[in-house]
């Protein structure tokens, strides 16, 4: 659902699940970031003329022996306006046992009109902004997977979370012995993409090594978000830096 911009990703296990017998197989192991981050993909033009706001929820469940389970839920708010600008609000709650249990919120704004990505830190009222190249961004062409261990199935079209969506199911079979496994392992990834919004509304991943991950968009409102959501508040300190640089060493502009 890709370039990521300081957004808090999924669990490390989900990332490891992307590793196949011959290296990384794109798409397996989880969405790899917020749904809003999908709109930041550098290989395709921003989606315009299809505004929405929604709640993104990721539920991860890992079964343990004896019927025990480890569960984790992650939520973000996502907004996109008619110009293709995307705002993602993610609140991170430290895991149990962490010294600081205070929840923190990070807001990321991608603006293809201004050609910028901005990360807002509400706790310190600071904005980190850098330029991105939005010119000559061709739309990605569909890729044909020639790996014989990967099978893709067309699931057709149906209503998912209130919108019409097309689905695909991709199954990766890791042969016995590829990662020290005595028997083949199957990783299944099912994706439903809104035909109108051009963004995934449901992703299900089943991996016997790491458990089940479900990420979906709910409470979808197909209306223009408040324009102020895509602006830096006037009382924030803005720090700028060249493309590819993180917050360290950025220049402060008051």
Q: What is the CATH number of the domain that holds 51?
A: 2.50.20
Q: Provide the CA 30 distance to its chain's centre, in angstroms.
A: 9
pLDDT score for 77:
94
Please report which residue ranges of the chain form alpha helices under DSSP H.
12-16, 35-38
Segments forming the whole domain that contains residue 137: 12-142+210-253
CA 144 to CA 163: how far, in whole Å? 27
Q: What is the mean pLDDT of residues 91-113?
A: 82
Please, which pLDDT band fits residue 46 given cuts at 50, 70 and 90?
confident
Q: What is the mean pLDDT of residues 237-247?
A: 67
CB of 206 within 8 A of CB of 215?
Answer: no
Q: What is the mean pLDDT of residues 89-97?
A: 79
Token pair, residue 82, equals 């008619």
- Asked whether the predicted pLDDT for residue 225 surpasses 90, the reply is yes
CA 91 to CA 79: how far, in whole Å? 15
Q: What does R_g of the chain's alpha carbons equal in angstroms? A: 19
- Asked whether the predicted pLDDT for residue 253 surpasses 70, the reply is no
CA 25 to CA 252: how far, in whole Å? 40
Please, which pLDDT band fits residue 102 given cuts at 50, 70 and 90?
confident
Q: Is 3 inside a domain boundary?
A: no
pLDDT score for 187:
94
- Asked whether the predicted pLDDT for residue 191 surpasses 90, the reply is yes
Q: Is 121 inside a domain boundary?
A: yes
The label of the residue with tokens 């989606």 reads 47
Q: Is 203 inside a domain boundary?
A: no
Q: Is 150 inside a domain boundary?
A: no
- Asked whether the predicted pLDDT for residue 135 surpasses 70, the reply is no
Q: Is 159 inside a domain boundary?
A: no
Q: Is 163 inside a domain boundary?
A: no
Beta-bridged to residue 212, according to DSSP, are 61, 206
pLDDT score for 147:
76
Q: Is 202 inside a domain boundary?
A: no
pLDDT score for 134:
66
The structural domain count of the chain equals 1
Picking from 57, 14, 2, 47, the residue whose alpha carbon sits closest to that of residue 197 is: 47
Q: Is 154 inside a domain boundary?
A: no
CB of 51 within 8 A of CB of 81?
Answer: yes
| E runs forming strands in 3-51 | 19-20, 23-24
Buried b or exposed e, range 26-37, using 16+ CB within 10 angstroms? ebbbbbbbbbbb
- Asked whether the predicted pLDDT for residue 10 surpasses 70, the reply is no
Q: What is the mean pLDDT of residues 49-58?
A: 94
Please, which pLDDT band fits residue 195 given cuts at 50, 70 and 90?
very high
Task: Provide CB contacts within 8 A for 234, sequence distance 6+.
Answer: none
């Amino acid at each position: 659902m890709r370039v990521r911009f300081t957004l808090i990703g999924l669990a490390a296990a989900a990332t490891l699940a992307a590793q196949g017998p011959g290296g990384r197989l794109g798409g397996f192991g989880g969405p790899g970031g917020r749904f809003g981050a999908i709109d930041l993909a550098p290989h395709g033009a921003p989606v315009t003329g299809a505004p929405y706001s929604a709640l993104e929820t990721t539920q991860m469940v890992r079964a343990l022996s004896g019927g025990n389970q480890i569960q984790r839920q992650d939520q973000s708010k996502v907004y996109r306006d008619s110009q293709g600008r995307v705002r993602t609000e993610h609140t991170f709650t430290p895991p149990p046992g962490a010294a600081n249990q205070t929840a923190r919120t990070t807001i990321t704004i991608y603006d293809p009109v201004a050609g910028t990505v901005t990360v807002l830190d509400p706790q310190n009222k600071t904005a980190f902004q850098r330029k991105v190249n939005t010119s000559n961004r061709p739309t990605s062409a569909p890729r044909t997977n020639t790996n014989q261990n990967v099978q893709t199935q067309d699931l057709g079209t149906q209503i998912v979370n209130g919108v019409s969506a097309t689905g695909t199911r991709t199954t990766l079979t890791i042969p016995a012995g590829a990662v020290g496994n005595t028997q083949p392992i199957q990783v299944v990834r099912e994706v439903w993409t809104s035909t109108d919004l051009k963004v995934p509304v449901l992703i299900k991943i089943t991996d016997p090594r790491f458990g089940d991950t479900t990420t979906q968009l709910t409470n979808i409102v197909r209306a223009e978000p408040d324009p102020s959501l895509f602006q830096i508040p006037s009382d924030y300190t803005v720090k700028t830096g060249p493309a590819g640089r993180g917050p360290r060493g950025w220049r402060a502009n008051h």
